[in-house]
Amino acid sequence: MKIDARYMVAKANKNGTVRYYWQRRGFFTRRLPDDEIEAVREAKALNAKADAEALAPVDLGPAPGTIAWAIAEYRASARWLNLSSTTRRVYERWMIKTEKQFGARSLTKLDPGSVDEMLGSIKSLGGKKHCAAVLQAIGKIAYRRGYRPTNPAMNLEIGRGKPRDQIWSKENEAAFLKACQVDLHGVAMGLAFLLMVDTAQRPGDLLRLTWASYDGTSLSLVQQKTGKRVEVDCTERLKAALDAAKAKRDRTLIVADRKGQRLTYGTFNKAFRRICEAAKIEGLQARDLRRTAVVRMAEAGALPQEVAAVTGHSLGKTMAILETYMPRTKKMQRAAIAKLERAK
């Protein structure tokens, strides 16, 4: 039997009928309709599709020497893989944006002027800093591979915003915890709030904590940003909250939604803002709780090295944080005057 279609074969059945198949190397065998005309039609359609795929250009990735190529090189580097997942997630946004707008541009044309052009369209200071970090990595690749005599993204004058010095008052704290009682994620958010303000850890680290991290008196965790392991004794109120949650736990994570699933960072931020709005709290953010914890420890008389043991910073970094973050509160000045009086 002559078959009018490439890669179409006929096989006889015992009862004298014929079945048809499409068999082409590199593709899965396909059973065709029993009607010969329909079988030929389908085989030709399959051949047309396979031929088109064979003629399609092969994606060889970004052209070497372009900004898109340097971004791909950075993604494959140990430097990128050693960043925390949070940092990678933030940088990825600006890598995608940079590749979309300037990916085809040659690295030889990556000069300080083009770097300023890339940063000029970004309004927020935080966005500029994150994009600048990405451009510095790209510029480093351009320099090391010989496309540029220097890294054009070094020593950028982006400017610095005014350091935040907001701290949570006890009244703010009470209002937030009260508002948690009627929020969709209120139980998880209330526990997360206490964890942040009583341990001085970052939200991202605390949202990943499992009950294996809690031994009944302290919490042990590895900070994602620094890679350091820290152990923090729990305050009495935090211990009480953790013990109450552990007694009725049916989940692995300490901070979890009603289904026992992890709160994503996005969900956490939305819930935090929602609860602040309900509590009529303005000008305060979740990140201010870490600063608040540092201030409270310092006000209680904790030495910088003691604060560093809790936060996980080096002593030098802790001193810089205390200098930058710590507002000069009325309570502190009163304590200083009281000590002066006692010394007379």
pLDDT, one tens digit per residue, over 77-102 is 999 988 877 788 889 999 998 998 88
Distance between CA atoms of 293 and 286, rounded to whole angstroms?
12
pLDDT at 44: 92
Q: Six-digit token pair at 147?
A: 């496309």
Task: Give the confidence band of 332 by pLDDT, cuts at 50, 70, 90.
Answer: low
Mean pLDDT across the chain, nearest whole number? 88
Distance between CA atoms of 86 and 136, rounded to whole angstroms?
19
The proportion of the chain whose per-residue pLDDT surpasses 90, expressed as a percent, equals 51
pLDDT at 187: 93
Q: Does the pLDDT at position 2 exceed 80?
A: no
Distance between CA atoms of 5 and 34, rounded to whole angstroms?
15
Distance between CA atoms of 327 and 318, rounded to whole angstroms?
15
pLDDT at 218: 95
pLDDT at 59: 61
pLDDT at 69: 95
pLDDT at 344: 61
Task: Give the confidence band of 325 by pLDDT, cuts at 50, 70, 90.
Answer: low
Q: Between these two residues, 163 and 207, which has the higher pLDDT value?
A: 207
Distance between CA atoms of 249 and 215, rounded to whole angstroms?
15
SS3 percent helix, strand, coil of the chain, rounded to 5, is: 55, 10, 40
Q: Six-digit token pair at 96?
A: 């995608």
H or E, element range at 198 = helix 186-199
The predicted model gives 128-135 an average pLDDT of 91
pLDDT at 240: 96
Q: Does the pLDDT at position 1 exceed 60?
A: no
The predicted model gives 154-165 an average pLDDT of 74
Beta-strand runs (E) in the chain: 8-12, 18-22, 30-31, 218-222, 229-233
Q: In this predicted structure, which of 11-25, 38-52, 147-161, 185-199 has the lowest mean pLDDT? A: 147-161
pLDDT, tens digit (0-9, with 9 covering 90-100), for 228-263: 899 999 999 999 999 999 988 777 999 998 888 888
pLDDT at 58: 63
The predicted model gives 310-327 an average pLDDT of 76
Q: Is 307 exposed, middle or buried (0-12, 13-18, 19+ CB in 10 A)?
A: buried
Query: Nearest-CA neighbor of 101 among 126, 66, 60, 59?
Result: 66
pLDDT at 270: 94
Q: Is 249 exposed, middle or buried (0-12, 13-18, 19+ CB in 10 A)?
A: middle
Q: Does the pLDDT at position 161 exceed 70?
A: no
What would the DSSP string read from start to end of 201-260? --HHHHTT-BGGGB-SSEEEEE-TTT--EEEEEPPHHHHHHHHHHHHT--SSBSSB-TTS
For 332-335, which contacts have Cβ atoms below 8 Å and span 24 or more sequence positions? 332/299, 335/299
Task: Give the confidence band of 23 by pLDDT, cuts at 50, 70, 90.
Answer: very high
Q: Does the pLDDT at position 342 exceed 90?
A: no
Task: Give the confidence band of 302 by pLDDT, cuts at 50, 70, 90.
Answer: confident
Place of tokens 């329909």: 38
The predicted model gives 132-159 an average pLDDT of 90
pLDDT, tens digit (0-9, with 9 covering 90-100), for 44-72: 999 999 888 877 776 667 899 999 999 99
